[in-house]
Amino acid sequence: MPGALILLVFVTLQRLAELVWSRSNERRLQAMGAVQAGAKHYPIMVALHGLWLVALWLWGWDRPLVWPWVAIFIVLQLGRVWVLATLGRRWTTRVFVLPGETLVRKGPFRFVSHPNYVVVILEIFALPLAFGLVWVSLAFGLANLALLAWRVRVENRALDTVRG
């Protein structure tokens, strides 16, 4: 199996597993009284990330890999794992606020307010470059930046209720 296919299968399975884990965490958080904030942006975010994967499959599956970009993507996965491990059962793809909970201030959150978004921004730019797809990197990377500007505002407003 060519390296491009292995990488695409990995990313696709990773994203699907994250959606399953997120949904499990969402149900648990809601049972504890968590409230979702800013749901309007979520379908757009799902569509953007889904189309990004589709674009990678359509135009990248048979391309030779650009190994320095693959290496950057692998390093970013270490950042992703660090964020997910730090948030644990609190991690979701949606914005949920659990009244009475304190903000996470350990792990990568000691250094950056939204480390997961830093990783996602860099992934969406870097992974298409691993396939030599500069236009996919720019198109989806810029669209993701615009969407995350909305998402971060939503999340910061929601977290302000926790901060007091």
In which domain, by residue range, is 156 found? 3-163
* CATH number of the structural domain spanning residue 104: 1.20.120.1630
Q: How many domains does the chain have?
A: 1
**Alpha-helical regions (H) of the chain:** 3-31, 42-60, 67-87, 115-130, 134-163
- What confidence tens digit (pLDDT) does each residue in 13-64 have? 999 999 999 999 999 999 999 999 988 999 999 999 999 999 999 999 999 9
Both tokens assigned to 80: 């992703």
Contact between 124 and 145 under an 8 Å Cβ cutoff? The reply is no
pLDDT above 80 for 162: no
- What confidence tens digit (pLDDT) does each residue in 60-94 have? 999 999 999 999 999 999 999 999 999 999 999 99
Q: Which of 48, 34, 38 is nearest to 151 (CA)?
A: 38
Q: pTM of the prediction?
A: 0.92
